[in-house]
Each structure stands twice: as C-alpha cells, then as structure tokens.
C-alpha cells in the first residue's frame, strides 16, 4: 500500500509511525515544504529567551532518522500545490529548485497544519516585524535581538503573545501587548483574565486593550505602531493574532471545510473524499463537552489525531475520542489553565449553567510555602454535570486542570468530583483538594 503524508510535523509523523507499526509492507512518502521534521514548536518561545540553549534541542526525530531507521521516503522542501482526488495524484514543487513532481497514492493524509494569520496592515513587511511558527521564524527574531531593540510590541494576547511577552521580558525589554478585545487570553472569562492583567502590571508589562492596530510605521525598519487610539514608538513588532489552516491548495478538490477553513473530518479522520484523511491544525477537532466539532489547534491534539489517522489508514478501526479543550500557559509567575467551557461559552451554547468561584491555598494552610489558587467551575444546573474549569495561580494549576479534564472526559458530575479519591499529604494538598472544596459548594 502506498501512503502519502503531506506535512512532516506532529500530526503527519505521528501517523507515519503508526502506519509503520501496523503495516509491515507500507510504502510511505512524506512531503514537507520546510527543511525540518518533527520539532516542538511549543519550545520556540523558550529558545528565544535562552532557557533552551538551541532550536536543535526541539527536534524529536531528524529527517535522517525517518529515512534510515524507519525507511520513510521523507522529502524536504517539497511543497504540495495541487491534489487530484480522481486520479489519486498529488502535485508538488521543490521550493529550492522549482522542479515539479507528481506522486500517486492509495491513501493520503493531509497534515499541513496552520500558519500565522498576517493582517494586511500598511508596513507589515518592514524589517523587525515578525510572527512565530517555525524554527527559521525563531532564528529571525533571535537575530534581531542582538540589535538595538529596547521596546517590543506584541499584537495579540493569546498564548503565543503571552509566552513571548515573558521571553522578551526575561531579556529586559520593555514589552507592550496590544489586544483588540476587552482582556488578554480571551479563552478565559473576563473575571479570571483580570488576574493575568494584575500579573502583567506587577511585572511591568504594558497592556493596551480595546485598540485596533491600523498600521506599522517606518522607512525600512519599524519605528512605531499605530492603533485607532494611539501611536506607540517601538523597535520590534510580533504579530500573534491567530492562525489559519493551510488548506488553500485543496480548494477545488471537493473536500469539505468548516467556517474557519479547517478540513471537516469524521471521528476516523476521514475527509469527505474516500482515502483522504486529515489531522492536526488543518482539521476540525471533535469537542466532547460541546458535542460537536470545534477548532482548537494544539500540539497535543495534533499528535493524537495523527496517530488515530495512522490507525485508520492501515485499516485498524479506531475513533478519535475528542478533546475537552484543555490548555495551560505559563505567564511570568502565574500559570493559567482552562478545560471545557468558559462561562461565556456556556452562555453562547444556551446551556443551563451555574458557576462557583473559590480562592484558596494550593496546599495545606499550615504548611509553609502555600500559594493562592483561584478556581472557577462551570456546571449544568439541571443534572450538575461539570462543563468546565479555569484555574489561575502560581503553583498546582496543571494538576487541577488535568483532574478537571479527566472529569469532563468521563462526563462526571459535581458530586463525582467531590467524591474523587485524590492524593493528599500537607506539602502537596489539603485533605479536600481545592477543586473538591469548590465542587462541595455547588447547590
């Protein structure tokens, strides 16, 4: 069987590895437009700040490993421009030599990820204007950091914006985040996000909200950024305003997309066209709590969906269980975690809900070193099923989010949460874990 995978990162190579494990006769060709395979984009902010010494450390498996150890025909600098589903052929171009190729497949996986959304503002092409997605993007930013850069403006207060604000701050830069909406990290409810603003202010990070960027000014190099309210002098701009699925080359194939141009797949990662699968940031993600497809592009999901695609491509029937929409961000001294629905999402889905908010200690009150942790739980007010949780604090956020995510995964109620047998000793917890303390308050 001849398998072709477009995209050589998380989703694509997770699928490739599962195909190898399950089909001993598999012929696998992977087409990647960049020069690197299987690297941890999530580590890029930390290589820029210097916590991780080199981007080489982010590469999980090299192209040579895929070729020599696993026998995959792993191509680099090969961009797929066209797909002919009738003939089962993909058309690719070597981006360095412009040579054109045609490859036939029996089964095809589209794992092309997503690219930063780049607004069409005047001045967007000026020097010292960046986005962050790939290792070369990180190198360009690191290269500029050696120059006379003191004031940095980040447009967009999502997780990449916040992680990069921390990185730049660690380099002693003046950092400004411009956010179009009312608050940073808009996956959180406003009451929770205010803690992020407090942390930004403690750390001397300037936060500008409710302003729309109109243009970036400068001759050749950025000098200032202009919003509908102000002009801010700045030396470097990072655009972090979201991402768009890399699916344009599939437009006239008959493949169905959602409103965000992500490929519509079923739970077996099959697209609307036979023998064509899709996974990762280019595809939709079934949301367990919403009970419908969503688009929450994350590395953890890309790996899982890629693996599931691999299983199904070789004929091992295995559905994707779905996501709960769990994520965590480290921002200076606090961690921000969210899983399931926020209050505003519950409202927009018209769900009957209640919420509980509790601020407490992350460990036993009498044990030294405890830190404050703020928990918000959302649950259905008819059957008391948990709908979501947001947790912000200096320590212990990841553990609580993972317990809440497991509860959502198993469709547990507030009573189930109360009854969970969670570990306890004073340096780690209270006899009642903070999320159980919160759950016990439900009516």
Write out the residues near ligand FAD by the rule CB under 6 A: 6-12, 31-34, 41-42, 44-45, 79-80, 111-114, 132-133, 160, 246, 249, 280-281, 297-300, 302
Q: How distant is the alpha carbon of residue 241 from its chain centre? A: 13
Cα–Cα distance, 152 to 214 (Å, whole number): 17
Nearest residue (CB) to ligand FAD, 116 versus 370: 116
Minimal distance, residue 115 CB to ligand FAD, in Å: 8
For ligand FAD, the closer CB: 132 or 334: 132
Nearest-5° Cα angle at 262, 183 to 187? 20
Q: Which is nearer to ligand FAD, 8 or 434 (CB)?
A: 8
The count of C-alpha atoms lying within 13 angstroms of the C-alpha of 394, restricted to the half-sphere facing its C-beta, is 10
d(CA 17, CA 306): 9
Rounded-to-integer distance, Cα 340 and Cα 245, Å: 23
Q: What's the closest the beta carbon of residue 203 comes to ligand FAD, in angstroms? A: 20
DSSP state of 223: -
* Residue closer to ligand FAD, measured from CB, 89 or 214: 89
* Cβ-count burial 177-189 (b if 16+ within 10 Å, e if not): bbbbeebbbbbbb
Q: How far is the CB of 114 from ligand FAD (least distance, A)?
A: 6
CA distance 389 to 325: 10
Q: How far is the CB of 38 from ligand FAD (least distance, A)?
A: 9
Q: Give me the catalytic one of 42, 229, 282, 423.
A: 42
CB of 424 to ligand FAD, least distance (A): 29
Q: Are the C-beta atoms of 404 and 422 separated by less than 8 Å? A: no
Q: How far is the CB of 413 from ligand FAD (least distance, A)?
A: 28
Minimal distance, residue 279 CB to ligand FAD, in Å? 7
Phi, psi of 148 (to 5 degrees): -85, 75
Task: Tell me whether residue 423 is one of the annotated catalytic residues.
Answer: no
Complex with ligand FAD: residue 90 or 351, whichever CB lies closer: 90
Outline where 23-114 has alpha helix (H). Answer: 44-49, 63-64
The two tokens of residue 375 are 């928990």
Residue closer to ligand FAD (CB basis): 279 or 439: 279
Pairing status of strand 89-94 against strand 78-84: antiparallel
Return the DSSP state at 229. S
- Per-residue b/e over 112-140, b at no fewer than 16 CB within 10 Å? bbbebeeeebebbebebbbbbebbebbeb
Taking alpha carbons only, the member of 290, 227, 283 closest to residue 258 is 283
Give whichever of 9 and 294 is closer to ligand FAD, judged by the CB atom: 9
CB atoms within 10 A of CB 141: 23
Known catalytic residues are 42
């Amino acid at each position: 069987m001849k398998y072709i995978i477009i995209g050589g990162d998380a989703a694509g190579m997770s699928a490739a590895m599962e195909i190898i494990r399950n089909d001993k006769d598999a012929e696998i060709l992977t087409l990647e437009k960049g020069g690197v395979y299987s690297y941890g984009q999530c580590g890029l902010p930390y290589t820029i700040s210097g916590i991780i010494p080199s981007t080489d450390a982010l590469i999980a498996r090299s192209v040579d490993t895929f070729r020599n150890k696993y026998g995959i025909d792993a191509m680099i600098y090969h961009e797929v421009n066209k797909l002919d589903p009738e003939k089962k052929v993909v058309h690719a171009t070597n981006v360095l030599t412009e040579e054109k190729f045609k490859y036939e497949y029996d089964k095809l996986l589209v794992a092309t990820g997503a690219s930063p959304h780049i607004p069409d503002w005047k001045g967007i092409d000026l020097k010292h204007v960046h986005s962050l997605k790939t290792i070369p993007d990180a190198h360009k930013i690191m290269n500029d950091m050696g120059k006379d850069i003191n004031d940095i403006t980040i447009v967009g207060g999502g997780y990449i914006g916040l992680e990069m604000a921390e990185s730049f701050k660690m380099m002693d830069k003046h950092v400004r985040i411009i956010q179009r909406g009312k608050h940073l990290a808009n996956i959180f409810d406003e009451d929770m996000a205010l803690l992020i603003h407090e942390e930004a202010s403690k750390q001397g990070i300037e936060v500008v909200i409710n302003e729309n960027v109109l243009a970036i000014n400068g001759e050749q190099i950025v000098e200032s950024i202009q919003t509908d309210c102000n002009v801010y002098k700045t030396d470097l701009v990072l655009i972090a305003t979201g991402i768009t699925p890399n699916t344009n080359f599939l437009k006239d194939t008959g493949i169905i997309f959602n409103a965000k141009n992500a490929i519509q797949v079923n739970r077996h990662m099959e697209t609307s066209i036979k023998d064509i699968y899709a996974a990762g940031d280019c595809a939709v993600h079934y949301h367990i709590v919403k009970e419908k497809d969503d688009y929450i592009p994350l590395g953890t999901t890309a790996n899982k969906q890629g693996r599931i695609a691999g299983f199904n491509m070789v004929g091992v029937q295995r559905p994707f269980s779905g996501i709960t929409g769990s994520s965590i961000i480290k921002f200076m001294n606090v961690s921000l975690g969210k899983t399931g629905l926020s209050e505003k999402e519950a409202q927009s889905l018209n769900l009957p809900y209640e919420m509980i908010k509790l601020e407490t200690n992350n460990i036993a009150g009498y044990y030294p070193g405890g830190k404050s942790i703020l928990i918000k739980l959302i649950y259905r007010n008819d059957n008391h099923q948990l709908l979501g949780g947001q947790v912000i604090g200096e320590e212990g956020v990841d553990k609580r989010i993972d317990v809440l995510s497991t509860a959502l995964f198993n469709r547990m109620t507030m009573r189930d949460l109360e009854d969970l047998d969670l570990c306890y000793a004073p340096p780690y917890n209270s006899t009642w874990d903070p999320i159980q303390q919160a759950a016990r308050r439900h009516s």
